[in-house]
Structure 1
Amino acid sequence: MYRYDEFDETIVRERVKQFRGQVARRLSGELTEEQFKPLRLMNGLYLQLHAYMLRVAIPYGVLSSRQLRRLAHVARRYDKGYGHFTTRQNIQYNWPALVDVPDILDALADVEMHAIQTSGNCIRNVTSDQYAGAAADEVEDPRPWCEIIRQWSTFHPEFSYLPRKFKIAVTASPHDRAAVKVHDIGLILKKGEGGKTGFEVIVGGGLGRTPYIGHTIRDFLPKEHILSYLEAIMRVYNLNGRRDNLFKSRIKILVNTEGPENFRDQVEAEWEKIRDCDIDIPREEIERIKRYFAPPAFEALPGESASFEAARARDAGFDRWVRVNVVAHKVPGYAIANVSLKEPGRPPGDATAEQMEAVADLGERFSFDEIRVTHEQNLCLPHVRKDDLYAVYQALKEAGLAAANVGLASDIIACPGLDYCDLANARSIPIAQALAERFAASGEEEDLGELKINISGCINACGHHHIGHIGILGVDKKGEEFYQITLGGSGAEDASLGEIAGRGLSSSEVVDAVERLARFYKRERREGERFLDAYRRLGHDAFKGAIYADA
C-alpha cells in the first residue's frame, strides 16, 4: 500500500496545525459558526443534528492494521466507541467534541491518515473496487491509478473551489463493484487493440435530487494520458458549471443539459490544448507508485485445501459463511474474505472499537496486514489462505462479525438518517434494522439470493436508494415519516435507476411491503434468476402490485 513521502507528511501536519488555530478561535468566540463553517468543511468536519461529525478519508478503501487500530482508538477515546463506514469507503465519527478534533487529526496523521477533502466543493476521496489486486477478473490493479489521481487532485489550485462537490471512482473489472456509472467521473480500465490498457471515461453520473447514469465520452483513453484528460474535464466543468443554483451545480446537470456529445466535444477541444503541457505523470513516477502496490509474497499453494473442506463439512455455520461471504482470489490457495458490518439488529455500516481491533488483528495475522472498506459499507480481508479461513471465521464470530449475508437481503446500505443528519426527513437505521431482522429470521435469505436493498433518509440519497434493487426513500408528510419505494435500480455494470412504485408507506407498513416483494419474486422467478432479472422480465407493474396487495 502507498506510504507517505515527506511532502504528504508536511502537508498533513501543516493543515492540522492551521486547523488547531482555527478551532481555538472558534471556541474563544473570535469566529462565528458562519465564519468557521468553510474552514471546518475543508477539514472534513460537519455540524449535524446533535453534534459535529468528522469524516476521515480512506483513499480507495485501503487500510493497514495499524491504521484500523488508530481508527478504533479514536472511536474509543473521542467518540462513543464506534465509527460508521460509508459508501465512499470513508469512516465517520458522529460525536466528537470540537475541542478534541485537532488532537484527533494529529493522532490520525501519526498513521498517515487525514480528513482533507472529505467535504466541500472539491474532488473528494477517490474510490475503487474493494477487491483490487486480488480479483480474478481484473485487467490490472487500479489502486496505483487511484493514488495518482489522489495526488493530482489534493489541493489542486484550480479545482479547490468547484461549483459543487466532485466524486471519482475507478475499477478494472468487467463486474463493477465500485458503482462507477453513478459518479461524476467513472473510470474503467480495459484492454484495447493489441492488448494495450486504457480507460473508458464516463462522465455525468450521480444520485441525489436529480439522478443520472453517466455517459461514456471516451471509449478508450491511453492510461498515460489520464491526468491531462481529467484536467480537461474539470476545466470545462469549472468554467461552465452553474454556481447560481445549488441544486443544478453538479456536473451531471451540465452534461445532461448540454448533451453528452456537446460536452465531449468541449472536453476534447480543451484536451487538445493541454495534452502536451506536461500535466501527465512521467513514466518513471508511474512505476514508482506502482511499486507500492506490488503483490504480497504469496505462497505457492494448491488450489484446493483438505483442511478447509473438512472444516466446511463439520461446521454448517462456516460452510454458509464461505458460500456467501468468501470470493475467489486470483492466486491459487487464497480467498477474499468479506466481513459483514450488517449483523441483524445493529446499525448498518457501524463497527465498535473492539470490532475494528479484531479485524485489524486478523488483517495482520492472515491478510498481509491489509484491510479494505467496501462501497457497500462492509470490510474485507483481501488475501487470506484457504487454510486460514476457519480461524478467521471463528475470530469474527467471537467479535460479532460473522454474519453470512453479503449481497443478501439483510446486507442493507443505509445512511445515518434522521437519527443524526439535519438534512434527513425520516429515520433510516430503524427501518434497515427491522428489515434485516425480518429477513434473517425467515431463514430464506440465501434462497432469495442477491437482493440489494438501499435506504436513504432524504432526497440527497446518501444511502444510494436509486440504485437498490429495492430502494427506500424517507419523506416527510405533514410531520410524519413515510417511505417511498423504488424498484429496479442497479449500481453494477448493468447500471439503472429505480422507478418509483407509488404512494409512500408508513414506518409500520414498509417492512411488510418489502417482504411481500420478496415473496412475489420467489413465487414468480425462473431458475437461477435474480430479483433484478425477474423485475426486468416481468415489468414494473407486476412488482408494484405486490407492494400494495395487502396494504
Structure 2
Amino acid sequence: MYVYDEIDRTLVAERVAEFRDQVQRRLSGELTEDEFKPLRLMNGVYLQLHAYMFRVAIPYGTLSAPQLRKLAYVAQRYDRGYGHFTTRQNIQFNWIKLADLPDALADLAEVGLHAMQTSGNCTRNVTADQWGGVAPGEVEDPRLWAEILRQHTTLHPEFSFLPRKFKIAITASEHDRAAIKIHDIGLKLRRNEQGEAGFEVLVGGGLGRSPFIAKTIKPFVAGRDLLSYVEAILRVYNQYGRRDNIYKARIKILVHELGIEKFAAEVENEWQQLAGGPLTLDDEVIADIRSRFIYPNYAPLPDAKELLAQASAAEPAFATWLANSVAPHKKPGYAIVTLSLKPVGAPPGDATAEQMTAIADLAERYSFGEIRVAHEQNLVLPHVAQRDLPELWHALEAIGVATPNVNLITDIIACPGLDYCSLANARSIPIAQQLTRRFSSAAAQALGRLHLNISGCINACGHHHVGHIGILGVEKNGEEYYQITIGGRADEQAQLGELLGPAVPFDQVTDVIEDLVEAYRELRAGPQELFVDTVQRLGVEPFKERVYATRQ
C-alpha cells in the first residue's frame, strides 16, 4: 500500500470544498446544467438515464480495508446499497443525489479517496496489473511507476484539457493482465542488458467506434526518463490531436492518420527537448516514492500442499475453487486469491455494501488489510497464507464471492448498458444474467479460459472488441439487436475480434453463444485447445456456418 502524504490530503480536502460550492450554486440555479457539466465531470459525476452517476478513483486498483469500508458506507448511506467495479479499476455509484455528493466526497476524503480525473478530457486513473508486487517473475512492482505518473498528471495544467480522455496502463509481467495494448499509452516494464529498469512504450490503443491495438514507438525508455517521455507523447497529442470532431479526437486516430513512424519521430523530437531536464527522475526521487509503499511483513511459511490436498479431498467444491481462483505468489507459503463478482444471475462487477464490508474484514484477517480491483471487474486478496485458504473459502462462500468461474465463460465483463447509461443502445446486464444461468453447469465451466465481453453501445465500455466472444448492443428500428465478434483478446497477444455475421435480436443471443460453444467443442484440436486458439487456427467461417445455418 502507498502511504499518502500531507500534500495529497490537503489537495483532496480543498477539492471537496471547491465542489461543495459548485454544487450549491447548481442547486440554487446560479449555474445551469450546461455550465455545471464541466465542473461535475472534473469530479467524476455523470448525468445518466435516471440519476447522477458518481465514479470514484482507485489508483492502480489498490485499496486498504478502511477505504473499502468507506466505499461500503457511501453505497449504504447515499446510494442503493451497492457499487459497480469497472474495467478501469474504479467504482461507480449509480443513484447518488446531487445534494449528497459533497458529503460523499468529504467522507471518502477521510480515507484518501477522491474522484478527480475519473472523467473529462484529461489523463484518467492510471491502471496496473492487479497482481503487481506479488506476481512471480515480474520485473518489479509496476504500481511504483503508476504512482509517479499519478502524481505528475493529477491536475497537470497542460494535460487537464486534452482533445479527449487519455488512459495509461502498466504491466511488469510477461502475461499482460493490465490490457496495455488497448490503452492510449501502454507501458511494459523490462530490463535492458545492463539490468536497468525501463519501459517498452506502446501508443494508440483504444476501442470504441474505431478500435485499434497499440503499437510500440520505443522499445526501451529508462525509468528515469519515464515522465519526460510520457510528457513528450502528451505534448504531441495536445498539439496535433483533433478538437473539431469528438469521434476523431483520441490519440489512436492521430497515430493511425500520421502513421506510427511519423508519430514516433514527432515524439522523439519533442522528447529531445525534455530529456535530461527537470522531469528526469533521479534515484533519490524514485527511492522516496518506493519507500512510501509499505509491504507486508511476511512470516516465513512452509508450502501447505498437503493441507490443501486434504481439504480438497474432504470438500470437492473447495478443490474446484482452489484450482480456479487461487494463483501462485512470489513468496513461498502464500497465494493470490481472486474474488468473483460474477455470481450466477447477477449483474457483473457489482458488490453490495454488506459484501464490501465483509471483504474489508477478511482482508484485515487474511491479506494484511489490502484489496485489489482487477480490470475484469473482480476483486483480489493479494497476500493470503496458503494454510488459511480453506477457512477463507468458507467465509467467501458465505458472502457470495467464491463462485469458481474466474476467466471462464461466466466471468463476464459488461458495462451497465441501457439499464443505466444514456449513451447505450441496448441492455447488457440482462444478457449477462441469461448467459451466466445458461452456462452455470460444471460441463460449461469445464470449457477452460473463455472471455465473454458485453457492451451496450459502440463506446465499448465492456471491451467487447477484445473478448474471446464479444457482444455489442445495437439499435434497429427501435429494437435491441446484438452483433457478435469472436477471436479477440486483451493480453500480450492482443487482437480485435472478427464480426461473425448479421446482428441477432435480444431473445436469440444466448442461443447463439451456445451454438458457438458447441461448435468449439466439435472443432477444437483437443480439450486443451482454448476457444480463442481454435478461432485463430480455423478462422471465423466454421463458427459462422454453425450459427447461421440454424437460423435460415
Shorter-chain TM range is over 0.9
> Following superposition of structure 1 onto structure 2, how do residues 113-128 of structure 1 map, counting pairs within 5 Å?
113-128=113-128
TM-score by length of 2: 0.99
Report what 1:99 is aligned to: 99
- Which secondary structure state, in structure 1, belongs to the residue aligned with residue 194 of structure 2? helix
Q: Are 2:326 and 2:337, in contact at CA under 8 Å, matched by a contact in 1?
A: yes
Matched, 1:74 2:74: yes
Deviation at 1:454, TM superposition (A): 0.2
Report what 1:149 is aligned to: 149
Q: Distance in 1 between matches of 2:373 and 2:44?
A: 18
Q: Are 2:439 and 2:445, in contact at CA under 8 Å, matched by a contact in 1?
A: no
- Which secondary structure state, in structure 2, belongs to the residue aligned with residue 548 of structure 1? helix
Deviation at 1:186, TM superposition (A): 0.2
Residue identity in the other structure for 2:501: G
Q: Distance in 1 between matches of 2:495 and 2:230?
A: 25
Moved more, 290-299 or 263-272: 290-299
> Following superposition of structure 1 onto structure 2, how do residues 489-528 of structure 1 map, counting pairs within 5 Å?
489-527=488-526, 528=528
Moved more, 313-322 or 280-289: 280-289
Q: Are 1:168 and 1:183, in contact at CA under 8 Å, matched by a contact in 2?
A: yes
Q: Distance in 2 between matches of 1:546 and 1:140?
A: 46
Gaps of 5+ in 1: none
- Which secondary structure state, in structure 1, belongs to the residue aligned with residue 3 of structure 2? coil
Report what 2:296 is aligned to: 296
> Following superposition of structure 1 onto structure 2, how do residues 336-351 of structure 1 map, counting pairs within 5 Å?
336-351=336-351
Moved more, 462-471 or 514-523: 514-523
User: Which string of whole-angstrom CA distances, capped at 9 and with x for unpartnered residues, describes residues 344-392 of structure 1?
Assistant: 1110000000000111111110001100000100001001011001111
Matched, 1:248 2:248: yes
Report what 1:237 is aligned to: 237
Report what 1:475 is aligned to: 474
Report what 2:529 is aligned to: 529
> Following superposition of structure 1 onto structure 2, how do residues 396-545 of structure 1 map, counting pairs within 5 Å?
396-440=396-440, 442-527=441-526, 528-545=528-545
Matched, 1:325 2:325: yes
Moved more, 91-100 or 284-293: 284-293
Q: Distance in 1 between matches of 2:57 and 2:280?
A: 25
User: Which string of whole-angstrom CA distances, capped at 9 and with x for unpartnered residues, describes residues 94-134 of structure 1?
Assistant: 00000000000000000000000000000000000000011
Report what 1:36 is aligned to: 36
Q: Are 2:2 and 2:294, in contact at CA under 8 Å, matched by a contact in 1?
A: no
Residue identity in the other structure for 1:207: L
Q: Distance in 2 between matches of 1:453 and 1:136?
A: 27
Report what 1:2 is aligned to: 2
Deviation at 1:277, TM superposition (A): 2.0
Residue identity in the other structure for 1:348: P
Q: Are 2:44 and 2:116, in contact at CA under 8 Å, matched by a contact in 1?
A: yes
Q: Distance in 1 between matches of 2:545 and 2:419?
A: 31
Moved more, 3-12 or 403-412: 3-12
Moved more, 372-381 or 445-454: 445-454
Report what 2:83 is aligned to: 83
User: Which string of whole-angstrom CA distances, capped at 9 and with x for unpartnered residues, describes residues 146-171 of structure 1?
Assistant: 00000000011111100000000000
Deviation at 1:298, TM superposition (A): 1.1
Q: Distance in 2 between matches of 1:507 and 1:419?
A: 14
User: Which string of whole-angstrom CA distances, capped at 9 and with x for unpartnered residues, describes residues 269-299 of structure 1?
Assistant: 0000111221123321211111233531112
Report what 1:110 is aligned to: 110
Q: Are 2:223 and 2:281, in contact at CA under 8 Å, matched by a contact in 1?
A: no
Q: Distance in 2 between matches of 1:7 and 1:257?
A: 41
Deviation at 1:184, TM superposition (A): 0.1
User: Which string of whole-angstrom CA distances, capped at 9 and with x for unpartnered residues, describes residues 157-211 of structure 1?
Assistant: 1111000000000000010000000000000001221322210000000000000
Q: Are 1:305 and 1:333, in contact at CA under 8 Å, matched by a contact in 2?
A: no
Q: Are 1:521 and 1:534, in contact at CA under 8 Å, matched by a contact in 2?
A: yes
- Which secondary structure state, in structure 2, belongs to the residue aligned with residue 60 of structure 1? helix
Residue identity in the other structure for 2:303: G
- Which secondary structure state, in structure 2, belongs to the residue aligned with residue 444 of structure 1? helix
Q: Are 1:143 and 1:293, in contact at CA under 8 Å, matched by a contact in 2?
A: no
Q: Distance in 1 between matches of 2:218 and 2:381?
A: 34
Q: Distance in 2 between matches of 1:239 and 1:27?
A: 37
- Which secondary structure state, in structure 1, belongs to the residue aligned with residue 439 of structure 2? helix
Q: Distance in 2 between matches of 1:402 and 1:431?
A: 22
Q: Distance in 2 between matches of 1:407 and 1:202?
A: 25
Q: Are 2:87 and 2:374, in contact at CA under 8 Å, matched by a contact in 1?
A: yes
Gaps of 5+ in 2: none
TM-score by length of 1: 0.99
Q: Distance in 2 between matches of 1:355 and 1:2?
A: 24
- Which secondary structure state, in structure 2, belongs to the residue aligned with residue 95 of structure 1? strand
User: Which string of whole-angstrom CA distances, capped at 9 and with x for unpartnered residues, describes residues 386-426 of structure 1?
Assistant: 10011111111110111000000000000000000000000
User: Which string of whole-angstrom CA distances, capped at 9 and with x for unpartnered residues, describes residues 480-513 of structure 1?
Assistant: 0000001110000000001111111111111000
Report what 1:166 is aligned to: 166
Q: Are 1:3 and 1:112, in contact at CA under 8 Å, matched by a contact in 2?
A: no
User: Which string of whole-angstrom CA distances, capped at 9 and with x for unpartnered residues, describes residues 48-105 of structure 1?
Assistant: 0000000000000000000000000000000000000000000000000000000000
Residue identity in the other structure for 2:18: Q
Residue identity in the other structure for 1:517: L
Residue identity in the other structure for 2:503: G
Residue identity in the other structure for 2:540: H
Q: Distance in 2 between matches of 1:402 and 1:7?
A: 39
> Following superposition of structure 1 onto structure 2, how do residues 168-183 of structure 1 map, counting pairs within 5 Å?
168-183=168-183
Q: Distance in 1 between matches of 2:550 and 2:517?
A: 14
Q: Distance in 1 between matches of 2:299 and 2:4?
A: 28
- Which secondary structure state, in structure 1, belongs to the residue aligned with residue 95 of structure 2? coil
- Which secondary structure state, in structure 2, belongs to the residue aligned with residue 194 of structure 1? coil
Report what 2:218 is aligned to: 218
Residue identity in the other structure for 1:288: D
Alignment coverage as a number of residue pairs: 550
Q: Distance in 2 between matches of 1:229 and 1:348?
A: 37
Report what 2:56 is aligned to: 56
Q: Distance in 1 between matches of 2:390 and 2:125?
A: 34
User: Which string of whole-angstrom CA distances, capped at 9 and with x for unpartnered residues, describes residues 205-234 of structure 1?
Assistant: 000000000010001111110000001000
